[in-house]
A and B are shown apart, each in its own frame.
Chain A
Amino acid sequence: MDPERKKVVERVAVSTFPDEVLERVLVQLKSHKDRSSVSLVCHSWYDAERFSRTHVFIANCYSVTPEIVSRRFPNIRSVSLKGKPRFSDFNLVPPNWGANIRSWLVMFAAKYPFLEELRLKRMTVTDESLEFLALSFPNFKALSLFSCDGFSTDGLAAIATHCKNLAELDIQENDLNDKSGSWLSCFPENFSSLEVLNFANLSNDVNFEALERLVSRCKSLKVLKVNRNITLEQLPRLLIRAPLLTELGTGSFLQEHPACQYSELENAFNKCMNLNTLSGLSEVTALSLPALYPACANLTFMNLSCAALQSGEFAKLLVHCPCLRRLWVLDTVEDKGLEAVGSNCPLLEELRVFPTDPFDEDTFHGVTESGFIAVSYGCRRLSYVLYFCRQMTNAAVATIVQNCPDFTHFRLCIMNPWQPDYQTNEPMDEAFCAVVKSCTKLQRLAVSGLLTDLTFEYIGKYAKNLETLSVAFAGSSDWGMQCVLGGCPKLRKLEIRDCPFGNAALLSGLDKYESMRSLWMSDCKVTMNGCRVLAKEMPRLNVEVIKVDGSNESQADKVYVYRSVAGPRRDAPPFVLTL
């Protein structure tokens, strides 16, 4: 664009729309996707956007450096960061891989002294970092750690001790060193700002009286999720002190002395008028469950994935939960339980069925295709499913997606790899064909079972909105992966393990990877040479190979490819080779 024209445009822009106004308007924009779009309109919009942005979401901590972020966004109050590739949750990434929060914290302390919120997923966080965090940000309000590692309860103690304005402490599913529950007692006696407390996955006892006092003081407490050491006798004492609770995660739901405390429990739940989310319920039995019924009327999310319920008691519970939109269960409820879901939860949008005993193959348990079908008939609004089972048929999946064409997330895990349709003995290709054809809004797909390249042909051809694809033990040749990379215009994340895809497949995506967040391929047929070619052709991608001990020199065991403006990692451990 020639300079003359540019000046005209800018002058016009300034006179009709002062930056301050624009910024005021843009502050209302919360979605980072919208903000990205706004920033691309023109320079003044880019500037207005960057000054008005208070929350930054960095989906891959290695895609950008702290310096770049702080230069662009000077007014950040809230940061969300994701680190390791998702398959690290399943032990596919060796320890000490990286994604350490430290360098980010140092930058934040320098550039964002008023930082209020930090939400981390799959990052490595040490106790020193937590203490640094606690001491560096006087306004710090919210800490959420999900699937992180590297810290212990000492770090939590530092947070509790020093963060005077803490409103949210959410410690979920982390690989932490749980030394003791004494961290909870570190909240000062005058501390009262907590609104969200989630320590459900910690295993050590906390001092109950300290917890009771804490809950008493924090009048705005809305979310309380305790760990399984909190007993059913203790629960009512917490509930009566937290009348504003909207999300509750109970501890153990095991009744030790049936008669006496049941009424107390019932009373406490009677008063929980505002609950919309319920979880916990470990060790629940049919005897203690009915105490919950009064509190279930407005529940929209019930997480029973730690509660080994049988179908009968589960069905009775569901009768009291007509408003459920999200439900997580264990497969102990079996198909019968899922039939009850279909009958009682017409508003259901999300269902996750977790396996109780994923490694025990000889005992029958769990759910089959019938349960899934039953849910699909009763819950037509279903849009998110995560389903672990041991058998499935193409016909069943076809029926399911015919009933529920609005799926945006379809994650089916047939737990035995390479398993065909158990009735026809054919591959499960047609199942996923049905999924991608019927569910035009599909954003996330996880496939399983015996699959040939045909599945991937279908995916490439029909899954126009697909953003995330997870593949394991599937495909017949490079062609499969090529189809996906050649189709799927909106693909952002592709994670593959144990598939027969090699260099030809890898290199067919050359043009695609820069528009994607990342690619993960482990235990496929990719070689070091293939990766080197990729790295050479696409210098703006980071092509990293994780070498596993004892593997063949030329094999690229685990390949992680991602776009980055930060250049190659400077903190890579020895087993990560950047090509």
Chain B
Amino acid sequence: MSIPLEHNYIGLTETSSMERGSDKLSSSSSSTLSTEDERSSTLNLKETELRLGLPGSESPGRKPGLGVSLFGKDLEDKNNGYSPNSLKNLVSGAKRGFSDAIDGSSGKWVLSMSNGSEVDLGKGAVLFSPRSGNGGKPLVGLEGKNNTQQSCLSAKPTMKEASSVPQSSKPVQEKKPQVPAGNEHGSAPAAKAQVVGWPPIRSFRKNTMASNLAKNNEEGEGKTGSRCLYVKVSMDGAPYLRKVDLKTYKNYMELSSALEKMFSCFTIGQCGSHGLRGRDGLNERCLRDLLHGSEYVLTYEDKDGDWMLVGDVPWEMFTDSCKRLRIMKGSDAIGLAPRAMEKCKSRD
């Protein structure tokens, strides 16, 4: 039973415009492939087919969004050098269990999706909120870097402290100052390779911020019980994550309505794309219906790294053990248990 559902998710059938990722997949590969990325066209198709029905397939639903929403045309210059990197960034955090399972080829597959997705965007496919421009942030830098290949004449083949970005496919050596390493588990910023001294922020401020973040990520231990507790919230199909402070809510209802407000802009099909924030009442209502209906469920990753449905345990217990939140498509959540088994299988 889970397989047909997963088919739906992947979108071989007509699905609601909510299914961002599926939309990309469903508007048949041919349309996605009719975009710039000709060289991997057939390959993409094959990759797509291979991925059908696999548990890991939904993760990319989120990733292509990133590529799509932001840049439309900007994806022209995207080539393999960037996207796998960014996608690796995205993919690695998405599903803990699957980051092991996902290999380079699936990364490529996702890449093709993101290249294709701009076409979908143009054809009135699911749009992210106008704020999606903001959501473009994660890839913006990459885009910028990509596009400046022509103009940047920096001679230095390597930045001293630059990260090792997989640039081998690129003809021109260029600096890649920022590599978005997978940082989705709230690891310290220092874990990422960065350009020395960029952005130009004094060390004391970096240290202050790092200790702020570290404190925020602690689970209520330490000298007071009322620390703020920031956790990341991701939503399938949304171009970027948000952070919420669990300590500001007293119960599940408050959390749920706050999340609805936060993510209402992402979910609805034809959002206005003119810089509005999707506060249109219709959209919020839709989301609320969706969240309370079966379309989306709220899940969280607990201390042990398992993904659980939100609402099963007392609120205090939940805030103590919740490390991050994810608004998942209903079909995925139903598959939570079987997928857990798949997790084990794919690891073997």
Residues of A within 8 A of B (CB): 87, 89-92, 147, 173-175, 201, 254-256, 258, 282-283, 285-286, 305-306, 308, 354-366, 368, 370, 388, 390-391, 413, 415-420, 422-423, 425, 427, 449-450, 452, 470, 472-473, 476-477, 497-500, 523, 525, 548
Contacts A175-B203, A500-B153, A523-B156 given: A419-B141 contact, CB under 8 Å? yes
Q: List chain A residues, Cβ under 8 A from B194.
A: 359
Q: Is the CB of B93 within 8 A of A425?
A: no
* CA of A365 to CA of B248, assembled, Å: 18
* CA of A449 to CA of B232, assembled, Å: 28
Give the nearest-CB partner of B196 in chain A: A91
Contacts A175-B203, A476-B153 given: A419-B143 contact, CB under 8 Å? yes
Query: Among the interface residues B73, B144, B228, which one has the most CB atoms of the partner chain A within 10 A?
Result: B144
Q: Is the CB of A355 within 8 A of B141?
A: no
The yes or no answer to B81 lying at the interface (CB within 8 A) is: no
Contacts A91-B196, A362-B93 given: A477-B136 contact, CB under 8 Å? no
Q: List chain A residues, Cβ under 8 A from B73.
A: 425
For window 197-228 of chain B, which residues contact chain A by CB distance below 8 Å?
Answer: 197-206, 208-209, 212-213, 215-216, 224-228
Query: Among the interface residues B151, B153, B178, B208, which one has the most CB atoms of the partner chain A within 10 A?
Result: B151
* CA of A179 to CA of B338, assembled, Å: 54
CB distance from B74 to the nearest CB of A (A): 5
The yes or no answer to B335 lying at the interface (CB within 8 A) is: no
* CA of A413 to CA of B93, assembled, Å: 28
Q: Is the CB of A364 within 8 A of B240?
A: yes
Instruction: Among A361, A413, A419, A499, point to the contact of B200 (Cβ < 8 A).
Output: A413
Q: Is the CB of B224 within 8 A of A256?
A: yes
| Majority secondary structure of chain A interface residues (helix, strand, loop or mixed) | loop
For window 300-347 of chain B, which residues contact chain A by CB distance below 8 Å?
Answer: none
The yes or no answer to B16 lying at the interface (CB within 8 A) is: no
Q: Is the CB of B136 within 8 A of A418?
A: no
Q: List chain A residues, Cβ under 8 A from B54.
A: none
Q: Is the CB of A283 within 8 A of B197?
A: no
Q: Is the CB of A90 within 8 A of B202?
A: yes
The yes or no answer to B134 lying at the interface (CB within 8 A) is: yes
Q: Is the CB of A472 within 8 A of B242?
A: no
Q: Is the CB of B140 within 8 A of A308?
A: no
Give the nearest-CB partner of A305 in chain B: B205
Instruction: Among A364, A390, A472, point to the contact of B198 (Cβ < 8 A).
Output: A472
Give the nearest-CB partner of B208 in chain A: A306
The yes or no answer to B133 lying at the interface (CB within 8 A) is: yes
Instruction: Among B147, B212, B213, B241, point to the contact of A420 (Cβ < 8 A).
Output: B147
Q: Is the CB of A418 within 8 A of B199?
A: no
Q: Is the CB of A391 within 8 A of B136?
A: yes
The yes or no answer to B21 lying at the interface (CB within 8 A) is: no
Q: Could you show 11 A-B contacts with beta carbons less than 8 Å apart?
A: A89-B202, A91-B197, A173-B204, A256-B226, A356-B213, A368-B134, A391-B133, A417-B177, A419-B145, A476-B151, A523-B159
Q: Return the 8 tightest CB-CB contacts between A and B, nearest first.
A: A416-B141, A90-B197, A419-B144, A364-B240, A500-B153, A418-B148, A359-B189, A390-B137
Instruction: Among A147, A363, A497, point to the contact of B243 (Cβ < 8 A).
Output: A363
* CA of A365 to CA of B148, assembled, Å: 25
Contacts A92-B197, A359-B194 given: A422-B189 contact, CB under 8 Å? no
Give the nearest-CB partner of B202 in chain A: A89
Give the nearest-CB partner of A86 in chain B: B200
Give the nearest-CB partner of B241 in chain A: A363
CB distance from A337 to the nearest CB of B (A): 14
Q: Is the CB of A390 within 8 A of B140?
A: yes
For window 278-295 of chain B, which residues contact chain A by CB distance below 8 Å?
Answer: none
Q: Is the CB of A418 within 8 A of B144?
A: yes
* CA of A354 to CA of B138, assembled, Å: 18
* CA of A415 to CA of B239, assembled, Å: 19
Q: Is the CB of A364 within 8 A of B197?
A: no
User: How many A-B contacts at CB < 8 Å in the complex?
Assistant: 196
The yes or no answer to B96 lying at the interface (CB within 8 A) is: no
Give the nearest-CB partner of B228 in chain A: A285
Instruction: Among B147, B189, B198, point to the contact of A425 (Cβ < 8 A).
Output: B147
Q: List chain B residues, Cβ under 8 A from A360.
A: 183, 189
Q: Is the CB of B189 within 8 A of A417?
A: no
Q: List chain B residues, Cβ under 8 A from A305.
A: 205
The yes or no answer to B253 lying at the interface (CB within 8 A) is: no
* CA of A548 to CA of B254, assembled, Å: 55
* CA of A256 to CA of B241, assembled, Å: 30
Q: Is the CB of B202 within 8 A of A173?
A: yes
Contacts A358-B199, A419-B143 given: A364-B133 contact, CB under 8 Å? no
Give the nearest-CB partner of B186 in chain A: A360
Q: List chain B residues, Cβ under 8 A from A256.
A: 224-226
Q: Is the CB of B241 within 8 A of A90?
A: no
Give the nearest-CB partner of B149 in chain A: A418
Give me 11 other A-B pairs in contact (C-beta within 8 A), A283-B227, A362-B241 excluded.
A87-B197, A90-B197, A91-B203, A258-B226, A285-B226, A364-B240, A364-B241, A390-B140, A418-B148, A422-B140, A500-B155
The yes or no answer to B180 lying at the interface (CB within 8 A) is: yes
Q: Is the CB of A364 within 8 A of B196?
A: no
Give the nearest-CB partner of A500 in chain B: B153
Q: List chain B residues, Cβ under 8 A from A87.
A: 197
Q: List chain B residues, Cβ under 8 A from A91.
A: 196-197, 203
Q: Is the CB of B243 within 8 A of A283?
A: no
Q: List chain B residues, Cβ under 8 A from A90.
A: 196-198, 200-202
* CA of A147 to CA of B239, assembled, Å: 39
Query: Among the interface residues B71, B138, B232, B239, which one has the most CB atoms of the partner chain A within 10 A?
Result: B138
Q: Is the CB of A357 within 8 A of B202?
A: no
The yes or no answer to B160 lying at the interface (CB within 8 A) is: yes
Q: Is the CB of A427 within 8 A of B151?
A: yes
Q: Is the CB of A418 within 8 A of B152?
A: yes
Query: Among the interface residues B89, B133, B192, B197, which one has the most CB atoms of the partner chain A within 10 A?
Result: B197
The yes or no answer to B175 lying at the interface (CB within 8 A) is: yes
Q: List chain B residues, Cβ under 8 A from A476.
A: 151-153
Q: List chain A residues, Cβ under 8 A from B206.
A: 358
CB distance from B186 to the nearest CB of A (A): 9
Q: Is the CB of A450 within 8 A of B144?
A: yes
* CA of A411 to CA of B134, assembled, Å: 21
The yes or no answer to B195 lying at the interface (CB within 8 A) is: yes
